Chains A and B, each alone.
Chain A
Amino acid sequence: MLPTDPAKRLSFQRYVSDGDLVIVYERHDNMKAIKVCESSVLQNRFGVFKHSDWIGKPFGSKVFSNKGGFVYLLAPTPELWTLVLSHRTQILYIADISFVIMYLEIVPGCLVLESGTGSGSLTTSLARAVAPSGHVYTFDFHEQRAASAREDFERTGLSSLVTVGVRDIQGEGFPNEFTGKADSVFLDLPQPWLAIPSVGKMLKQDGILCSFSPCIEQVQRSCETLRSNFTDIRTFEVLIRTYEVREVKMNRFQGNEGGSIESLPCKRRQRSNEEINGLENSSPPVVMARPSSEARGHTGYLTFARLKCVL
């Protein structure tokens, strides 16, 4: 997934090969991660796709099924991975993820602690941020979930950057071997205040903690605990509004026929078909945008705090 390995790095000479992870893109809301295996096939509503047809093609290729249907093969990125991974828990999405990476001031070489691992959505982005010389140590008390996360990091090629441990961080705190070594710590726990004293021990001077909680009561209690030896305690909510951008034909008002004022929005490609059908009395299309009607209204509160500096 990451360009750390020069042999696997995307270039004009890089083609899909046996064993590669590809993101099969049907539509922006329909994607799937698949490990290419020469003898295997992908079956979906568009027909049967042979993996062997994919091998040797560049990433980004349009590939066809036996029925002439097509999908795109994309190279995986942490953002795409977040959209395709299997949800074993509630996951973090792009807006929160990018904000966390920025606010935790993570740069290549950092040592980052995380708990819980969950489905590994954030972990993938953390790994990209610390690569190639840093490391993410992530902990989950759920043995099976930790094992599945480990398998995922193997698939995405991040296992050299991420270590998954099984540990109850709320109960036991982070392992002592990381005392004073962590640049940043991320908590996504039901009772984060229980882990905060341990985080204080793990962080380097001036290191930053982020705690993600969906409920304000959790935030309230965490902040009370944080006030004892953290400073710059700030809580944010970050959301994204997406826009649908369409081309719309504004038909001229035609008095004698009663006339339509505006045709329905249509996708650009459909428009070109219509043009062939000979709709000539319409004026050139205009690009229109409107916010998507449904959006994620709440994910969680992000609380950041910095370890107090002792002079």
Chain B
Amino acid sequence: MAARVSHDPFGKTLKIGNKTYSLQPLIGCHFGSLFQVETGGNGPFLSPVIQESNQEEKGCKIDDPKDNRALVDNNTAQTLTGDEIDVMRREGATGNEIVEALIANSATFDKKTSFSQEKYRLKKQKKYAPRVLLRRPFARSICETYFKKYPTRIGFLRVDSLSLLLSMANITAHSDVLVVDMIGGLLTGAVAERMGGMGYVCNTYIGVNPYPIDIVRMFNFSDEICKRIVQSPLTELSACENEISLQHGPPEDSCNTVSLSNEKLASPTSDSVIVERIWIFKPHNGRPGYGCLDYCQRSPPTSVVFSSFCNLPPISSAACNMHAQFAAWENGNWIANAEPWLREYQVLPSRTHPHMQMSAFGGYILTGTRICSA
């Protein structure tokens, strides 16, 4: 039931199943509001759901005598046909009415345990009466939504890996952060969110063209925060002794008034460097990590906390080489290579267990603190 992240609800639409819904009814509602799909005179629309204040937990007992001995999977349990459902729909039946009809026409529903009755109801509700929940866009929800729907676009960066990156890199207000973001701007946005418009996020890149950071648009950032997101090529950062001129702002349309041409940043020091490298997709196209390590070397000691994410196992060299590079560099300290592991649980009366499906891989995180070379 995850609704797709939409840039701007004004005049936008949302596709659920094969129908398009206007997002107009959402405007003016609180985050956390729940909507349901309904069909009216002008076609399908989203209508707010008044939540029952206290849904009664049905008395699900583990010693329920029912079991699945009487269930035969021969596709005859449901007597309501697809055509009949279509007729109901045309006659303006609501999704909930269809669900009730399905239950009434199911020969086996009463024989099911209360657990599986609940499961059945939920499954049908998702299909015939989908609900839309409004959520405030945060790094967490944006990352989770992408990870679920388009994981390749964010380089398979799982939310726990992202949170580790941000913590290990010591991101906080009033720090200046250098980011190599090759995952569409998720990293840049997450860093900017943590800094709340105080300090700069410098998005650096190898070559001529900045990496796209379109995802930044989804964060609903204020102008103050947008102004603190800048882009600059690594060559320029490396060449500058005292000043960095930030030639490029984020894409014009990303926020309302961002165009940072010729704005100067006082010194080329940054507090943290976060690198995201997707070697799987860009095997030989630049090695931003290495360039950044060189750059770290020119920053004040310990101010730089390095935090990197990659998708290849340490043994197959991406993270490993980086690690070796660090050790050779003689300036890294407290270097650690870690792999986060995240498992979600279903917690229900008498039915608590880990989810049947989990993400098996969240990437590798390499971290280090710069120390004095002397």
Contact = CB atoms under 8 A, between A and B. Distances in A.
Contact of B372 (A61, A228, A231, A238): A61
Contact of A268 (B327, B346, B349): B327
A132 B198 contact: yes
Contact of A14 (B172, B300, B319, B349): B300
B342 interface: yes
Contacts of A170: none
Given A11-B269, A129-B172, A108 B198 contact: yes
A216 B51 CA distance: 29
Interface string B64-86: 00000000000000000000000
10 contacts: A2-B174, A3-B173, A10-B302, A61-B372, A79-B168, A102-B140, A241-B339, A289-B319, A289-B323, A301-B345
B328 interface: yes
Contacts of A78: 167, 170
A60 interface: yes
B369 to A, nearest CB: 6
B139 interface: yes
Interface in B234-257: none
B160 interface: yes
A228 B54 CA distance: 6
B374 interface: yes
Given A129-B172, A220-B347, A239-B340, A287 B320 contact: yes
Interface stretch (A35-43, A139-147, A242-250, A274-282): A242-250
| Shortest 7 CB-CB contacts between residues of A and residues of B | A60-B301, A309-B32, A108-B196, A289-B314, A102-B163, A10-B303, A98-B167
Contacts of B340: 95, 238-241
Given A102-B159, A289-B337, A311 B50 contact: yes
A72 interface: yes
Contacts of A79: 167-168, 170
B102 interface: no
A105 B138 contact: yes
Interface in B4-54: 29-34, 48, 50-51, 53-54
Contacts of A223: 347-348
B194 interface: yes
A242 B338 contact: yes
A240 B32 contact: no
B344 interface: yes
A225 to B, nearest CB: 11
A25 B334 contact: yes
Interface string A107-149: 1110000000000000001001101100000000000000000
Contact of B341 (A234, A240, A311): A240
B320 A289 contact: yes
A62 B193 contact: no
Most chain A CB atoms below 10 A, which of B136, B301, B342, B348: B301
Given A60-B300, A237-B343, 16 more contacts: A3-B172, A3-B175, A74-B334, A79-B170, A103-B140, A107-B194, A108-B195, A108-B198, A129-B172, A131-B172, A245-B323, A268-B327, A287-B320, A287-B324, A301-B345, A309-B30
Contacts of B305: 77
B313 to A, nearest CB: 7
Interface string B290-301: 000000000011
Interface string A262-279: 000000100000000000
B206 interface: no
B101 interface: no
Contacts of B369: 60, 74
A27 B139 CA distance: 34
Interface string A284-306: 00011111000000000101001
Interface string B155-197: 0000110111011101011110000000000000000011111
B371 interface: yes
A10 B304 CA distance: 9
A101 interface: yes
Given A109-B196, A287-B321, A303-B347, A11 B267 contact: yes
A239 B341 contact: yes
B352 interface: yes
Interface string B273-303: 0000000000000000000000000001111
B336 interface: yes
A238 B341 contact: yes
Contacts of A12: 267, 269, 300
Contacts of A61: 301, 371-372, 374
Contacts of B344: 234-236
Most chain B CB atoms below 10 A, which of A97, A223, A288, A309: A309
Nearest to B299: A12
A251 B354 CA distance: 45
Given A10-B302, A243-B314, A309-B32, A60 B323 contact: no
A58 interface: yes
Contact of A74 (B323, B333, B339): B333
Contacts of B360: none
